Amino acid sequence: MRHTRGTQVRARGGARRALVGGFATAALLLTAACGQGEEPAAEPEADGGTEAAAEGPAEIRFVWWGNEERAALTNEAVDAFMAANPDITVETESVDFNSYFDRLATAVAAGDEPDVITMGGAYPREYGDRGVLMDLEEVSEHLDLSTLDASALANGYFSDTQYGVPTGVNTFGLIVNPAVFEAAGVELPDDETWDWDEFVDIATEISANTPEGTYGVEDPTAPDALDLYANQHTGLGLYSPEGEIAIEAETVQNWFDMTTTLMEQGATPQASITAELAGQPAPEQTLLGRGLAGMKFGWSNLLSAYSTAAGQDMIMLLPPGESNHEGPGMWLQASQLWTISKNTEYPEASAKLLDFMVNSTEVADILGANRGIPANAEIREHLSTGLTPVQQTEYDFIERVGGHADGDFVVGPTGSTESVQILTRLNDQVLFGQLEPAAAAEQFVTELTAAVS
């Protein structure tokens, strides 16, 4: 979700500088650098330089994007950290999402990036490969990552380096309305064994046994679903670990053949409805949220929203095909990643802050699931009391996927966000009969390759 509230700055006592206007000092430094060249590096201290500084009193900067609620919760967690670590001062800043990465780019160009940086999307790979981010193995003495799910940690691992720590996780799976299954007289599948053929049969049976306008499943075509499908069938998703296109046209064609069959059999809506729904992502506007579909591929953090919209507690199932092909296609997706600047003067203090944020029950009580379900199983267990039934379902599913997924996660390369627009357009053309699945598949691979090149 994009938060669009104004920049919030919170300067801590004793901080190195006050931040004004979101990385404003970075812009000043960049201007100075353009006119005078780079400043010479500081002479190392005789007793060890950076490491020695990190062992004494430290003043670090921590930045993230988010709204006022997230800022208040995060600052409360930082206060708890400083109370436990009185020799470390943390200066915090919350920036609206739309300007966050532009300001970060300016700060990095000026050599004035924060010590602890929040990342997301394809940006971790971009900044990691540019040498901006620290290899977290260097601070492993102060940052325990062994407590986190391996498949969640993989979100921050690329170029053979662990650059990021997941703030929390969700997962992409199948959201199901049991009431629609019951009304159709269809039993819920065994999601440990079912395949895509059974998925098509079940969706078709639901549509046949419910009133007109109710469907077995909404059209499942989306980059995340296609990535999952490709992972299952070939062991590689849309992209390779090197940031290149990995999916083959044959896999995409098989996907389009399946979704075309779903529509022709009435298991999914006609093309005009699917095209209309593509522009209405809010849960209450979907067929599932209106009680008019039995299944929909989606993210686990929307389970409560779909349940509220439909007035029916939803559940989550493993997607079809998870046990019948090359391997599982599911993964745990980091809501965000916390990273450390490679240029920080205080690597030890920065690592201690991240360790506190992901491993402290005190922080868990403050943040809850504000940044996703915790990737630490012990923290999830700590928070499990007092959950609503739907929240418990989400927590349990994350726990299940944590043990199911193989941890093989590939961060999308720069340009990969264009996959949504490309796939949506081609899917419409296939469903409207304007393109054959084979031609659409070839075009998808060609266009996506161009987007990330």
Residues in Cβ contact with 236 at an 8 Å cutoff, skipping those fewer than 6 apart: 230, 246, 247
Q: Is pLDDT above 50 for 111? A: yes
Find the length of the chain: 453
pLDDT in tens, 56-68: 799 999 999 988 9
> What was the pLDDT predicted at 4?
22
Q: Where in the chain is the domain with CATH 3.40.190.10?
A: 8-168+335-383, 171-332+407-452
Query: Is the predicted pLDDT of residue 22 greater than 70, yes or no?
Result: no
44: pLDDT strictly greater than 70: no
pLDDT at residue 49 greater than cutoff 90: no
pLDDT band at 8 (very low <50, low <70, confident <90, very high): very low
Determine how many CB atoms are found less than 10 A away from the CB of residue 130: 10
What pLDDT does residue 349 have? 98
How many CB atoms lie under 10 A from the CB of residue 251? Answer: 21
Per-residue confidence (pLDDT) for residue 159, from 0 to 100: 85
Residues 265-304: tens digit of each pLDDT:
999 999 999 999 986 668 999 999 999 999 999 999 889 9
Q: What digits encode the pLDDT tens for the residues 325-362?
A: 888 999 888 989 999 999 999 999 999 999 999 999 99
The pLDDT score that the predictor gives to residue 280 is 63
pLDDT bin (cut points 50, 70, 90) of residue 15 is very low
**What does pTM read for this prediction?**
0.77
- Rounded Cα gap, residues 169 and 89, in angstroms: 28
Place of tokens 């296109």: 245
Distance of alpha carbon 372 from alpha carbon 367, whole angstroms: 9
pLDDT single digits (tens) 141-189: 999 999 998 888 989 998 889 999 999 999 999 999 999 999 999 999 9
Task: Report the distance separating Cα 372 and Cα 356, nearest Å.
Answer: 16
Asked if residues 177 and 312 have their Cβ atoms less than 8 Å apart, the reply is yes
End-to-end CA distance of the chain: 27
Residue 324's pLDDT band, with cuts at 50, 70 and 90, is confident
CB neighbour class for 37 (10 Å; exposed up to 12, middle 13-18, buried from 19): exposed
Considering the four listed CATH numbers 2.60.40.10, 3.40.190.10, 1.10.1380.10, 3.40.50.2020, the one that applies to the domain covering 171-332+407-452 is 3.40.190.10
**Contacts by residues 140-143 (CB-CB < 8 Å, ≥ 24 positions apart):** 141/351, 142/348, 142/351, 142/352, 142/355, 143/351, 143/352, 143/354, 143/355
What is the model's pLDDT at position 65? Answer: 93
Q: What is the pLDDT of residues 66-99, one digit of tens each?
A: 889 999 999 999 999 999 999 999 999 999 988 9
pLDDT in tens, 390-427: 999 999 999 899 888 876 778 888 888 899 999 999 99
**H or E stretch at 216:** strand 215-217
What is the CATH architecture assignment of 8-168+335-383?
3-Layer(aba) Sandwich (3.40)
Q: What is the mean pLDDT of residues 364-382?
A: 91
- For residues 423 and 409, is the Cβ–Cβ distance under 8 A? no
Give the closest residue to 196 by CA, choosing from 249, 247, 261: 261
Q: What is the rounded CA–CA span in Å between residue 172 and residue 425?
A: 22
> What does the alpha-carbon distance between residue 118 and residue 333 come to, in Å, rounded to a whole number?
15
Which DSSP symbol is given to 410?
-
% the chain with pLDDT above 70: 87
Residues 6+ apart with CB under 8 A from 42: none
pLDDT digits (tens, 9 = 90+) for 421-452: 999 999 999 999 999 999 999 999 999 999 99
| Per-residue pLDDT, 281 | 67
Tell me, what's the pLDDT at 419? 93
Helices (H), 303-342: 303-310
The answer, yes or no, to whether residue 231 has pLDDT greater than 90, is yes
> Which among 164, 30, 26 has a CA at the least distance from the CA of 95?
26
pLDDT of residue 58: 95
* Greatest alpha-carbon span in the chain: 80
3-state secondary structure of 126: helix
Query: Which amino acid, residue 229?
Result: Y
What residues have CB less than 8 Å from 101, skipping those under 6 apart?
123
CA quadruple 440, 443, 444, 447: dihedral, nearest 10: -160
